[in-house]
Structure 1
Amino acid sequence: MFCNQCEQTAKGQACIKIGVCGKTHEVDELQDLLVHALVGLSEVALKAEEKGVKNREVDHFLCEALFSTLTNVNFDPERIADYIRRAVEWREKLRSEAGVSEVSEAARFESAGTIEGMIKQGEEVELRPEKAKDPDIFSLKLTVLYALKGIAAYAYHAAKLGKEDEEVYRFMKQALVDLYRDDLSLEDWVNRALEAGRINLRTMELLDAGNTESFGHPVPTKVSLGQKAGPAILVSGHDLKDLYELLKQTEGTGINVYTHGEMLPAHGYPELKKFKHLVGHYGTAWQNQQKEFPEFPGPIVMTTNCLMPPKDSYKDRVFTLGPVGFPGVKHIPDENFAPVIEMAKKMGGFPEDRPGKEVMTGFARNAVLSVADKVIEAVKSGSVRHFFLVGGCDGAKPVRNYYTEFVEKAPKDTLILTLACGKFRFFDKDLGEIGGIPRLLDVGQCNDAYSAIQIALALSKAFNVDVNQLPLSLIVSWYEQKAVAILLTLLYLGIKNIRLGPSVPAFLSENVLKFLAEKYNLRPISTPDEDLRAILG
């Protein structure tokens, strides 16, 4: 196997025997073969569209299947093999309907009859550095591929809420086809990477519209970290629609619903807040679930990434949705949560109330911009010296304590915006207020980078300066492929001086890193003291 798509990749280079995430060689090769099959499907779909044959189900399938290859989503060989077969079926259906004849090898590919055979096919088509003619072009190809996986995830969520854009789907298909082209220059691939950033911005905008039109604009909300006596269900992941459906089906049952991980911001949405049995948040970031899940006395629903290989002590209580999968774990294909509800009732949940501290969430763009006048005045008066956006993905490496220390050491005249699961390094710390504004503002999930961008753009307009001239610094933590897509969005917008950690992506070649450093002043984190001194003087 060869996999270097996430931050924890082995030795900072690539996983070649088994994934640090727990992904086996077999699953890795099947995922590589799935990408190959999706390239062929995309080629035929594009040619079919030229002939007036279009099927929106193909776009939905493409997003779900590509999403399944994102880190910590699907570890199930049977499920991945099924995606491969379905990709070929869709391809041939379109090919027949549109009369597409001239196609590449990828669009003629036929999957082997067994999983063992598919694994061998995956080994043959896997994108590997030794096959590349130019290491820098290969680096950018991987960057675009990994960004596509992030875009696919956001597009999948947005489509479930009825928000779609043909341009997004078309770019994804064309970019997949381009992976197999050898006639594109380094400059072409730089432009494709930036275009991926633009398309991801549009996709996050669609998802933002889907979430806010369905559930209202988030409002600042206190969330309990304690527990209530009674049956309990834990919901992790990102999909607010899945959470909404579960809340509807559990209303009046006496079951309490708790969020986990990236679901914490759900508490800020008015239409979700209406459900009084959405009682609190349990646990912290994804990498701690093997310690925290055994202690939860009820079923656990994984709506999206990040799933860690579940331990036997709680594996029988895990349910997956959508593209998420693991061998031997129950899968819900249709948002019918009856089995989850039945299990919750049988298990009984928490025996007594366990009070806990409260944290704040819900500081998305509408909430922050509603007090923009106070923020602007605080800057002009000197009460607020600087803004820090400290957020992104969390992970298990001890060096990630950098982000905790950075927030703790940030001067008291600075405001800190945060988003995604990186917040769990410091989300429960009381940093005080400035002029009635909390110093720590949770903007939301990783896709709410869109909200953070809108806040920055609004402030730049208010102060009549370029975004890069604002007293704003981005201290970004990354882990998986949605973070790659967001990074490309920031670069597309021309945002400079980003500090990235805890390490630089293994898929970026030395020359690509040099280019990013020279053009965007993208740099790795150092120490909290050194970085604060460099930023604030």
Structure 2
Amino acid sequence: MFCNQCEMTAHGTGCTKVGICGKDENIQALQENLIYALKGIAAYTYHARELGYTDPEIDAFFAEALYSTLTNVDFDLNHFLELNMRAGQMTLRAMTMLKKAHTDHFGEMVPTQVPTGTVAGPAVVVTGHNLKALYELLRQTEGTGINVYTHSEMLPAHGYPGLKRFPHLVGNLGAAWCDQKKLFAQFPGAIVGTSNCVQIPLDAYKDRIFTVGASRLPGVPHVENWDFSPVIARALSLPPCEEKPGEVTLTTGFADTNILPMADKILAGVKAGKIRHFFVVGGCDAPGSLGNYYRDFVRMTPPDTLVITLACGKFRFNDLDLGTIDGIPRLLDLGQCNDTISAIRIATALAEAFGCEVNDLPLSIVLSWMEQKAVAVLMCLLSLGIRGIYLGPKPPAWITPDVLRVLQEQFDLRLTTTPEADLKALLGR
């Protein structure tokens, strides 16, 4: 453990074995987990609030949960387990609220093919999660000759009718957030970071990147009041993109609203033996080779299985052509990490159709995590009683062996091993 939040901290640097206040490493781990989950919830509620949506119950929970982590307030291990589960419930509310905000403003998502190359002309690339920022930029760049590209978690924007109606939203560049330094250095146009997942910029593009909303970078202009005129002026002053078709076309825009109408077809496919298993493979991507596990896992899934994905972890494998089963794409991209709500609705509806519980479905969840929103999503799934989730590519550093054991005992939470072993175990259940 490590805690230095009060004056009593050991040696004036930090308590590392047990708190001077009396809390042990397990309380500390659950406090940290709770705070990280709250950070994830904050991201979802922030973007919902930008679109005019709030939830007083979530706001009240923030005060209660944060207060519980102050020095000498709460030493009850079971209560912190309960608070973490309630954080999961609040995550569900937050994702539901943000989904409504997105669909009310931009329409229900529709499956959409997205080019990955560039077209000739001045350009702006937008990264992050903030759909309102993208909408405002698209609206203000109409008629300017500027083409707008998405990057990373902005890819699902192409599936919203209210955004794809802009003809100058022309494609997606790059993959997950962690490729941005290389991508942005090569991209000739202006760049806008709209949320988390921005990195300290290289000098190669620092003079043409902007931030908006919650994101900030040192020495980088920040867009105020949704006024993108500085971005537009900079884009028009820079060299244009060349015409360069991409090597792949990506498909996004799936959601419970367009998958559930196929429920009868899916059910018939299962009964006929054409669909054996469903996999949900998604989450946050991180730099490094450990994430290749997810590409290998998806590539190895049998042809009689469907793979549902979301968040930036999908960029490890969303270029793969998995084919179809009776016209149903085997790879279904539901969107951003907050679109986990669509996956939950799909699983719930399938369970109702099969007359069973979600845990009894031929469905397995394999998650990748990198940051705090993934913690919130995991707590959400656990709070719903979902068991047998595989988590990787490595365990969270703040979780103690005792806390991990509790999660494994109560929820059958598992850590990923190898794609071959995990796939065999999941299909053998």
TM-score, length of structure 1 as denominator length: 0.76
Residues 367-405 of structure 1, C-alpha deviations (whole Å, 9 max, x = no match): 111211111111111100000000000011212110000
What are the equivalent positions in structure 2 for 1:243-262 lying under 5 Å apart? 243-262=134-153
Distance (whole Å) between structure 2 residues aligned to residue 207 and residue 294 of structure 1 = 32
Residues 83-127 of structure 1, C-alpha deviations (whole Å, 9 max, x = no match): xxxxxxxxxxxxxxxxxxxxxx9xxxxxxxxxxxxxxxxx97989
The alpha-carbon deviation at position 355 of structure 1 amounts to: 4.6
Aligned-partner residue type, residue 184 of structure 2 = F
SS in 2 for 1:371: helix
Distance (whole Å) between structure 2 residues aligned to residue 267 and residue 370 of structure 1 = 21
Match of 2:156 in 1: 265
The alpha-carbon deviation at position 335 of structure 1 amounts to: 1.1
Question: 2:128 is matched with which residue: 237, 252, 263?
Answer: 237
C-alpha contact (below 8 Å) 1:227/1:356 kept by paired residues: no
The alpha-carbon deviation at position 356 of structure 1 amounts to: 4.0
1:522 maps onto 2:416 in alignment: no
Match of 2:62 in 1: 172
Distance (whole Å) between structure 2 residues aligned to residue 350 and residue 329 of structure 1 = 22
Question: 2:250 is matched with which residue: 359, 368, 373?
Answer: 359
Distance (whole Å) between structure 2 residues aligned to residue 469 and residue 349 of structure 1 = 54
Match of 1:161 in 2: 51
Match of 1:336 in 2: 227
1:501 maps onto 2:392 in alignment: yes
Question: 2:91 is matched with which residue: 200, 203, 211?
Answer: 200
Distance (whole Å) between structure 2 residues aligned to residue 482 and residue 255 of structure 1 = 33
The alpha-carbon deviation at position 348 of structure 1 amounts to: 3.2
The alpha-carbon deviation at position 228 of structure 1 amounts to: 0.5
Q: 1:515 to 1:300 in 2, by over 3 A?
A: same
SS in 2 for 1:444: coil
Aligned-partner residue type, residue 289 of structure 2 = P
Distance (whole Å) between structure 2 residues aligned to residue 461 and residue 336 of structure 1 = 47
The alpha-carbon deviation at position 517 of structure 1 amounts to: 0.7
What are the equivalent positions in structure 2 for 1:49-448 lying under 5 Å apart? 131=19, 133-180=23-70, 181-448=72-339
Match of 2:350 in 1: 459
The number of aligned residues is: 423
Task: Say what the alpha-carbon RMSD is for the aligned residues.
Answer: 2.0
Aligned-partner residue type, residue 294 of structure 1 = A
C-alpha contact (below 8 Å) 1:237/1:262 kept by paired residues: yes
C-alpha contact (below 8 Å) 1:302/1:318 kept by paired residues: yes
Distance (whole Å) between structure 2 residues aligned to residue 249 and residue 356 of structure 1 = 30
C-alpha contact (below 8 Å) 1:361/1:444 kept by paired residues: yes
Percentage of pairs with the same residue: 52
More helix by share: 1
Q: Give unpaired runs (5+ residues) of structure 1.
A: 4-28, 37-104, 106-122
C-alpha contact (below 8 Å) 1:129/1:138 kept by paired residues: no
C-alpha contact (below 8 Å) 1:234/1:258 kept by paired residues: yes
Aligned-partner residue type, residue 376 of structure 2 = A
Residues 156-202 of structure 1, C-alpha deviations (whole Å, 9 max, x = no match): 00111111110000101111111114434101000000000001100
SS in 2 for 1:370: helix
Residues 242-299 of structure 1, C-alpha deviations (whole Å, 9 max, x = no match): 1000000001111000000000000000111100000000011111111111111111
Aligned-partner residue type, residue 198 of structure 2 = L
Distance (whole Å) between structure 1 residues aligned to residue 189 and residue 351 of structure 2 = 47
Q: 1:127 to 1:331 in 2, by over 3 A?
A: farther
